[in-house]
A and B are shown apart, each in its own frame.
Chain A
Amino acid sequence: MRNEAKLLLSLGSFFGLMVAVYWFWSHENAGSVMMFCGMLLCFLPGSYYYFWSRRMKPRAEDDPNATQASGAGIVGTFPGTSIWPFTLGMGAFFVVLALVFGIWLLIPGLGLAFWAIIGGTAEGRRGGPH
């Protein structure tokens, strides 16, 4: 976890340095705001990882001498198949088409999207599709 944190924190620090130079040199707002937010976007997860990296034991994937056996156990659940991403994608498709062809397309769009969100959540609760 430590290297992951270091990567994000150093990227964030670099952006911080860059935006400081840029702002005092140019006084340009848009670019400074965007770079500043880029810095935050690195610091936020970076400091979260850093916080945890100090509190947890190195994971097997952080240990250069780990054996494959040390990773035994369930990594996570990986659903095999699911129709809900497709349903949600179609919902998003209709929502975007509503921006172009008329507001009524929001009905199928949001309908499909909600159906997919409910269906996908229920599927996740059951521990994945079978």
Chain B
Amino acid sequence: MSQLEIKDLHVAIGDKPIVRGFTLTIRRGEVHAIMGPNGTGKSTLAKAVAGHPDYTITGGDVLLDGKSILTHEADERARAGLFLAFQYPSDIPGVSIANFLRAAVQARLAEGEELDATAYYQRLYAKMDLLKIDRKFTSRSVNDGFSGGEKKRCEILQMAMLEPKFALMDETDSGLDIDALRIVADGVNALRAAAHPPGILLITHYQRLLDYIVPDHVHVMWDGRIVKSGDKSLALELEAKGYDWVKKEFAAA
């Protein structure tokens, strides 16, 4: 079974340890939600797993289908099937969504293999329709001048086009209006229903997203590690009680 294993991972930014012993295994087809207070290291974890060069891995390992990927560059990890939907996606002035995604799709082909442009556009348009993204967006520069919600939708479009084995979705719901939230959730659920669904790590602050994308597991991250795990009822409990009780419980433990 294909899986992404994060084992006792420690990540530092400069000298500052941020992720401190994070362990989680995600199998393909599973959705794991991660919740936790601001600044607790969720984005750092996601970017470190994706291979951000500024984040130093000071301990532990990340394995994709049993092989460590820590020595691989971010692009190799991506081509191996990892995808990060950014909390704050960068804009790329002058590069259209169509050209950007085309380059990304092309990068996954074997050397010498040419992309079938017609098929590519058909697929792109189909995914855009699914996510209710206006076709005019294909010629717009990636994220350049996009509203917060448009950026998030564009992230999901990319995910849908690149069909990763594992997706790390960092607060994809923040900035989405109620309708957009449903559209994005439908898009993700469509991927889950596919023949080879991805494993998903879903970082969120809001229980509402989990009404639409129902997680198999919910974890609470605190101070750089998972301190509590449960099923989707845990999210409801957090929503009702806040994080204080987790803190207390954790402190008592």
Is the A/B pair a real complex? no
Tell me the A residues contacting B by CB distance below 8 Å: none
Tell me the B residues contacting A by CB distance below 8 Å: none
